[in-house]
Structure 1
Amino acid sequence: MVPTKTQHGRFVAAILSSTFLFCDYAYAATHKTAARQGGASAKLHKQARAAARPAAHRATGPVQSHGAEELDVAVNRAGGGGMMRHETAPHAVQTVTKRFIAMQSPTSTALDLVKNLPSVSVSTNDSSGILGGTLNIRSLTDSDMGILLNGVPVATAYYLNQNVDSENLDHVSVTPGSAAINLPVTTAAAGVMDAGTITPDHKFGGMTDFSYGTNNMSREFLRVNSGDIGNTGLRGYLSFSHEHARNWMGPGVNERRHLDFGARKDFDNGSFINLFASWNHQFTSIPLYPTAQQFLDKKHGNGSFSYSAQYNPQAPSQYVGLVGNMWDQFFITAPVHVVLPSRFSFDFKPYYVYNGGYSYNGSLFDANSTAVTLGPNGGALSGQVPTTSTYSIYRPHAGAIAQLSYQINRHNTVSLGYWFDYQDNQVNNLYSVVGPEGQKNYPYDASHGLFQNGARYMPYQGDSGWYNHSLFVRDVSRYFDNRLQVDAGFKVSMINRYSRNYANGAPQMQENTVVPLPQLGIGYKIDDNNQIYINAEGDYRMPDPGALSSVYDAQTGRYVGNPYNAKPQYAIKEELGWRFNNKYLMVDLSLFNYSITNRLVDTSVYVNNQAVSTTINAGNQTARGFDAMIAAHPIHHFSPYASIEYLNASMDSNMPTTGTLNGTTVADLLQTKGKRAVMSPHVLANIGMTYDDGKLFGSFAVHYTSGQYTTFLNDEKMPGYFTDSIAVGYRFPGFGFVKNPIFRLNFNNITGSLVRTGAYGLTNNAHATTGVYGSAVSASGAPSYYLYPRFNMTGTLSVSF
């Protein structure tokens, strides 16, 4: 059994204690500054700060029905009803704001909220938001992307629903071609998606909502705000939600419980500490993902590909009660900003993420070929035994970013920083015997587990992870009355990856990598309405550390090093952009070019006729195109929005594979050079409209994605598709202690179409072919797909107090 590691616990304690030390220093520095200013000036400063609080609160919240000032604040920040925000950074940024988020269903995840941005193609499993999904962006995937919450890394896009409830989101931003030097990302070839949470309210109160929808979906949410706690400068909120829903296709039930906690402490000199923590616990029933043939059969009424609601001991893998996932996630971060004397400032962002649980599926265990007993002291089993195969996962992730900044003069600020990041992935494969009626037993219950020689039978015990040490320097210069901004930086990352399979006794494999990451962004504001920018940078993706593991050589009967040990993926990217903003319109146009080296692909290879799942380099890739967005500020309460992306992405190399030549398995290449890159549609287009007169509000959006290839050889293609959504609601007048009662309806897939929206599993080639060197390359399997859920509706009633 792999021993549980405790180093990360000591590290978390260290960074959190450091956070409170910085908080104490900021408190002391604040009072020293106030004492030097004198009592009268300090009093005036406090009065000015108190007077500014309501405006700051209004700016972060949704548009209310009372007060023209609040409407002006929201309009200045965003257009298209919050589907587009005015940006000034010297690189492409695409953002949805709180105004748009507040119109959507509370079940929406960050993936659902960004699905109408021009660079993004989103695939989700269900309408409840519990099962997560994936996204593709400029010919890359979310595995090539930094996924952040409040500026620190969380899990992949599949787990976005576990990070924060949508009621506590302030905005979601996508930087499709850029990752700032001081961001804690190791995988940013496709840029960054960063979700920001709301700031705790200055007044005591809260809000609650209840949602009910199709597929027996029900959801409850409650948030309580503390308001300002005396004269401490502290304020916070705590929220809880619970959700339950059936799968939209086939049997299966999903359930989720979630807690969010936010707190903020402000100091008079501008220092602050901002804490956010969340906990998520869920049980999910994982759906089947169809092949193209299964999808077409289902669409034409000729078959089904869902799990069975009835247990058959001869086919436990088909029973819905024996397939699923139990998952826990805990996330905490406490960014600290300290204003120091002599134009210095210090930023410290510690974070800790715990992911753990297990996934399971039914199987028939051949006890005749592998001798096992039931329990540590039970009798020997024989024949085909119905079991559950469980993968137990333990995944701590911790780190911190420290940055010291110095304002040289009014034009120039330089920053030096260090980032440390650590993640460990421990995976154990356990087997448990199924009950006579198909009951799933607790995977850690020894009495129902399979044992071998007195120890728990575990054919796989993996431990892999990394240590990342990064140093960075950044300089931000502003000239010509702040019209010209030059943002230049350099980061060097030193990464140690390790991996070991304890089940086979092979030695731990590890590898050290040093990666340079330069960046230069230049933005110039031509006049009050026009800005141009240019951005160039290098980004990389670290291969999965599990790919370092030794593999089994069937001919020698020994474990050997992985001959397909992948190199880091590196991308050089350039952007050229123009922005326009006046009181009527917002326009954003960006042209991009990517040159990708050592493209990383998850696939299967052969080592002496033994199939091995691993990560390989698929050669080089080029992607270029443009994004365009346009949105209007309210015109008679209407706010239109439209966006489009054109993308041309191609593979520049032939892809490694294996084939058969004269009866022998040999290394060969697939003829992929010049083929279109997988999951890279030529066109993504969106149109939308919002209406809000202060009481009645609504929105609609239509998304189009053109055809995409789902094999690297381009011998299977997914056709283009449309998706759509509508929201409508009404704000009622408050009464008594009840404020802002709102009722809204959200509809998705109005036409009820059954379409594929993305590839769950890519393959090299769907049909047999001939390799570059003449070997016969067999088909590598059929791709599997995400399906867009059929028509679904959610009704929500919310009130504040």
Structure 2
Amino acid sequence: MSHTRLLLLGSVTLLFPLHEVSAATKKTLSAHAAAKVAQPGVVQSKTAETVSVHAGIGSSTGVSNTTPGGGLMAIQTVPKVQSGVTRDYIAKQSPTANPLTLIQNLPGVVSSGVDPFGASDQMGLSIRGMDQSEIGFTFEGMPAADPISYVPLSSTVADTENIGYINVAQGAPDLSAPLYNAVGGQITEGLRDPSHKRGGLLDLAYGTSSLRREFIRLETGDIGNSGVRGFLSFSYQTAHNWRGPGGMKRYHVDAKFVKDWENGSKSGLVVTFTRPTSTYLRPPTMAQWKTQGVNFNYTDTYKFGDTSYYGLVLHQRNSVIATAPQDIKFQHGLSLHVTPFFSHYWGFGNGGTTLDESSLYQGNQYAGQLNLPYSQNGVATAATIDTYQQDMGGLNTYGEWKILHNTLQFGDMYSYMNAVEGSGFQIADFNGNIASPTGKSPVYTAYGQKLEQWDIHFLQQVNALYVSDTYKAFNDRLTLNAGFKEAMVSRKVTQLIPGATYNTGDNKAEPLPQLSMSFKVTPHDQVFFDAYTAFRDPSAILTYVDTFNAATGKMNRSHSSNLAAEYSIGEELGYRHTGLVSVSAALFNYNMTNRQISSTVFINGVATSASINAGGQTVRGAQFEASLRPWHHFSPYISGQYLHATMDNNFWNGTVMLPTAGKTAVKSPTFTGALGLSYDDGHFFGTYTMNYVGSQYSTFMNDEKVPSYFTANLSLGYRLPDLGFTKHPQLQINLINMGNGGYLSGVSGVTTNAKTATAIGGAKVAGSAPNYFVGSGFAGVLGFTTGF
């Protein structure tokens, strides 16, 4: 099907040839674009020059000093709740930050970071109480989350210096977005466009925990009269863990090329590569946190049998992602938007365990008497090696026809994914070293088979057809939109371990209507209403397979028999005002069925994702944000949210029914808020933000919770005069999490009840301890940046 679409695209291109931009036309277009960018309060500038001069600000980092709130409140006009950050904010944060930490001050967003630099994907995120697996994440128009667990792989897609904007739709996802999990909203990230001028950027940063980071970007500028321009960047980062032993290394490459056509069409190509290696940070239970605090870590020295040794808990997730968005304009109001995409992920996640030579099983079959090296009394220490590879390709295509007052849209998204995952063992020597973190020297059974916990092959196809009509009247003051999407997901999963169900999977088709309307009361005031639906297939690869205890051969987890999709119906009513003071306020309500709660469980030391069907849920609340355009160089910002999220049903734990109806949903703080203050006079600049997150429950029975907490960050900098080849060099210091020496930042693994609970009917249910993310301590980053 995808080949057919590509052939159709090629045929259309031949029928309607695109014309390259002449030098004179480019000059006119560039002048016109510059005039538009110079207007104060623009939504966002995706074309950030190497040296940008806007409203008197000269910067090598793309800062224009035009976005309200110091870049924390990009002006929005879409008829739904949406917030965003621009280069005015992004460029002043630590260059180590990832997109999930960059949006933590927006209404309703809770970012549960575990390291101060934002370099780890071992973190949590929620929006209106919906966790990160329920939030769609797109990058340059392509899906950029793990296609099975839906975890946003935010640190793999782009370096901070290259991010042009990040938008957060707290409720309704875009109808045309290539997503099938966005019941909790959508995060949209885009790169800055390449500069029209040849040059580059150098960014050097050093900090606490032995942080070292180098970044360089080279710009081609306009290549002759071809209309093509691009950039290529490389970065390297290394640091020690802020708590416990170990650390991280990260290599990253970004490349983006665009071609402007004379008729306003645009072609693009984006490719990124990431190779990060890190040591896990150990998540505590509440009891462990209360007794040991930030000292509950993996051990730094090895003793025989120590499964908590940090050398056994390495993690690596490599990625190559590519997309080539094509926006093609024809005559008579016709346009075509085509986005082919491809992602390739591979890596490993390890954990420590022990193996008994005389009591090992492959599934439910005895592995035989083994003779393991480096064993004592028949027991050896080993690393559980969980290796995986995921390949996904797809094509999102839609056409638009603007005729009179209407804009019609017809589209289709198709993707195909092939994933394999296996979990074997690697023996540790008497010093705790393993020969290969990728499991190249595995343990074999007495019968010559590789000893594994699972051997999974996962195939998935997604096809989504969508159509919408947008009608505008009263000189475009009134906008009405209605759309419909039919999303179809097919999954086939095989598990080759003896005793496991060989073939599982499911097929789903979900109708997803949307409706929105907005009215511009004045040029500066807008009211809007939207109603939407969204769905999410169950996450986590282990949801679909049986797993066994390697020491006993007994099944410790069977594949889920309840694979119903999570489905939400939501409504939002909002108001916006733009001007010297910008304000956005909204009420929201939605109801969910088959709410899928993502959690983390440990199997032989390896952190794995699990999905729990918590039944129905009702979410209601209000959110608010306000900001000021730069006034006497100052620009303040404030945001807040009230949330009331409750479970609609009692919970069946497989044996008894727990009385959870009416309980507050997990990961749903009642109040969240943020304050920000930015200053920028063209030379001195700084940004201060303070974030508050209310307490949030970690169990369905509401018998354990994360306490509320505050965090505060400060950035200060000075732009130096040009010297030699340098253009707008600057010094910047970022102080992260000032005054907080470690705290519980969020829930990693939820449970039904932490304490003994009474089920409906009187039965006693023993408690199971949740585990938590530990927020980072203080960190400082000193950086030097210059254009050239």
TM over 0.5: yes
Q: CA-to-partner distance for each residue in 1:86-135, whole Å, 9 max, x for gaps?
A: 11000011101111111111001001110101110111110222212221
Whether 2:764 is the aligned partner of 1:776: answer yes
CA distance, structure 1, for counterparts of residue 749 and residue 24 of structure 2: 62
Pick from 109, 112, 115 the counterpart of residue 123 of structure 1.
112
Whether 2:585 is the aligned partner of 1:579: answer no
Q: CA-to-partner distance for each residue in 1:46-105, whole Å, 9 max, x for gaps?
A: 552354465578743389785637799988962011110111000011101111111111
CA distance, structure 1, for counterparts of residue 624 and residue 5 of structure 2: 43
Pick from 32, 54, 72 the counterpart of residue 83 of structure 1.
72
CA distance, structure 2, for counterparts of residue 290 and residue 563 of structure 1: 27
| Structure 2 equivalent of residue 30 of structure 1 | 19
Kept after mapping to 2: 8 A contact 1:405/1:415: yes
CA distance, structure 1, for counterparts of residue 547 and residue 238 of structure 2: 41
| Structure 1 equivalent of residue 676 of structure 2 | 688
Q: Which has the larger displacement, 341-350 or 232-241?
A: 341-350
Amino acid corresponding to residue 600 of structure 1 in structure 2? Q
SS of residue matched to 1:321: helix
Whether 2:296 is the aligned partner of 1:324: answer no
The 3 A distance-change label for structure 1 pair 603 and 527 is: closer
CA distance, structure 1, for counterparts of residue 567 and residue 177 of structure 2: 17
Q: CA-to-partner distance for each residue in 1:406-433, whole Å, 9 max, x for gaps?
A: 1122x11101111112223311011111
| Structure 1 equivalent of residue 41 of structure 2 | none
Amino acid corresponding to residue 723 of structure 1 in structure 2? T
CA distance, structure 2, for counterparts of residue 782 and residue 561 of structure 1: 21
| Structure 2 equivalent of residue 549 of structure 1 | 545
| Structure 1 equivalent of residue 618 of structure 2 | 622
CA distance, structure 2, for counterparts of residue 167 and residue 531 of structure 1: 33
Amino acid corresponding to residue 391 of structure 2 in structure 1? P
| Structure 2 equivalent of residue 152 of structure 1 | 142
Ranges in structure 2 where 5+ consecutive residues have no aligned partner? 39-44, 361-366, 602-607
| Structure 1 equivalent of residue 252 of structure 2 | 258
CA distance, structure 1, for counterparts of residue 459 and residue 676 of structure 2: 43
CA distance, structure 1, for counterparts of residue 621 and residue 353 of structure 2: 47
TM superposition shift of 1:298 = 2.7
CA distance, structure 2, for counterparts of residue 118 and residue 158 of structure 1: 19
| Structure 2 equivalent of residue 672 of structure 1 | 660
CA distance, structure 2, for counterparts of residue 449 and residue 481 of structure 1: 72
Q: Map residues 625-640 of structure 1 onto 2, 5 A cutoff.
A: 625-640=621-636
Q: Which has the larger displacement, 319-328 or 154-163?
A: 154-163
TM superposition shift of 1:146 = 0.3
Pick from 711, 729, 747 the counterpart of residue 759 of structure 1.
747
The 3 A distance-change label for structure 1 pair 77 and 513 is: farther
| Structure 1 equivalent of residue 303 of structure 2 | 312
Pick from 710, 716, 728 the counterpart of residue 722 of structure 1.
710
Kept after mapping to 2: 8 A contact 1:83/1:641: yes
Pick from 333, 353, 369 the counterpart of residue 343 of structure 1.
333
Q: Which has the larger displacement, 154-163 or 638-647?
A: 154-163
Kept after mapping to 2: 8 A contact 1:81/1:99: yes
Q: CA-to-partner distance for each residue in 1:185-244, whole Å, 9 max, x for gaps?
A: 101111100111010111100001110011011100000000011111111000000000
CA distance, structure 2, for counterparts of residue 604 and residue 106 of structure 1: 29
The 3 A distance-change label for structure 1 pair 733 and 695 is: same
| Structure 2 equivalent of residue 401 of structure 1 | 396
Q: CA-to-partner distance for each residue in 1:264-319, whole Å, 9 max, x for gaps?
A: 011101111111110000110001011112212234xxx9311111111122x121
SS of residue matched to 1:297: helix
| Structure 2 equivalent of residue 232 of structure 1 | 226
Q: TM-score, normalised by structure 1?
A: 0.89
Kept after mapping to 2: 8 A contact 1:499/1:546: no
| Structure 2 equivalent of residue 246 of structure 1 | 240
CA distance, structure 2, for counterparts of residue 537 and residue 305 of structure 1: 44
Kept after mapping to 1: 8 A contact 2:254/2:272: yes
SS of residue matched to 1:482: coil
| Structure 2 equivalent of residue 269 of structure 1 | 263
CA distance, structure 2, for counterparts of residue 175 and residue 618 of structure 1: 24
Count of aligned pairs? 759
| Structure 1 equivalent of residue 363 of structure 2 | none
Kept after mapping to 1: 8 A contact 2:55/2:65: no
The 3 A distance-change label for structure 1 pair 794 and 556 is: closer
Kept after mapping to 2: 8 A contact 1:308/1:318: yes
Ranges in structure 1 where 5+ consecutive residues have no aligned partner? 1-10, 35-41, 606-611, 659-666
The 3 A distance-change label for structure 1 pair 493 and 16 is: closer
The 3 A distance-change label for structure 1 pair 221 and 553 is: closer
CA distance, structure 2, for counterparts of residue 454 and residue 65 of structure 1: 64
Pick from 189, 206, 226 the counterpart of residue 183 of structure 2.
189
Identity fraction in percent: 31
| Structure 2 equivalent of residue 388 of structure 1 | 383
TM superposition shift of 1:560 = 11
Amino acid corresponding to residue 326 of structure 1 in structure 2? Q
Q: Which has the larger displacement, 692-701 or 769-778?
A: 769-778
Q: Map residues 63-102 of structure 1 onto 2, 5 A cutoff.
A: 68=55, 78-102=67-91
TM superposition shift of 1:616 = 3.8
The 3 A distance-change label for structure 1 pair 17 and 226 is: farther
Pick from 456, 465, 470 the counterpart of residue 464 of structure 2.
470
Whether 2:581 is the aligned partner of 1:590: answer no
The 3 A distance-change label for structure 1 pair 431 and 561 is: closer
| Structure 2 equivalent of residue 5 of structure 1 | none
The 3 A distance-change label for structure 1 pair 405 and 70 is: farther
| Structure 1 equivalent of residue 42 of structure 2 | none
CA distance, structure 1, for counterparts of residue 326 and residue 232 of structure 2: 20
Kept after mapping to 2: 8 A contact 1:186/1:542: yes
CA distance, structure 2, for counterparts of residue 711 and residue 344 of structure 1: 52
The 3 A distance-change label for structure 1 pair 17 and 244 is: farther
Q: Which has the larger displacement, 326-335 or 18-27?
A: 18-27
Amino acid corresponding to residue 198 of structure 1 in structure 2? R
The 3 A distance-change label for structure 1 pair 18 and 383 is: farther
Whether 2:514 is the aligned partner of 1:519: answer yes
Amino acid corresponding to residue 753 of structure 1 in structure 2? G
TM superposition shift of 1:689 = 0.2
CA distance, structure 1, for counterparts of residue 509 and residue 377 of structure 2: 52
CA distance, structure 2, for counterparts of residue 670 and residue 747 of structure 1: 45
| Structure 2 equivalent of residue 483 of structure 1 | 477
| Structure 2 equivalent of residue 654 of structure 1 | 650
The 3 A distance-change label for structure 1 pair 47 and 218 is: closer
Kept after mapping to 2: 8 A contact 1:543/1:615: yes
TM superposition shift of 1:748 = 1.3
| Structure 1 equivalent of residue 347 of structure 2 | 357
Whether 2:554 is the aligned partner of 1:566: answer no
TM superposition shift of 1:157 = 4.7
Q: Map residues 360-379 of structure 1 onto 2, 5 A cutoff.
A: 360-370=350-360, 371=367
Kept after mapping to 1: 8 A contact 2:425/2:439: no
| Structure 2 equivalent of residue 210 of structure 1 | 204
SS of residue matched to 2:582: strand
TM superposition shift of 1:627 = 0.6
Kept after mapping to 2: 8 A contact 1:269/1:339: yes
SS of residue matched to 2:656: strand
TM superposition shift of 1:460 = 1.0
Whether 2:36 is the aligned partner of 1:49: answer no
Q: CA-to-partner distance for each residue in 1:664-691, whole Å, 9 max, x for gaps?
A: xxx2211101111111111001111000
Q: TM-score, normalised by structure 2?
A: 0.91
Amino acid corresponding to residue 784 of structure 1 in structure 2? N
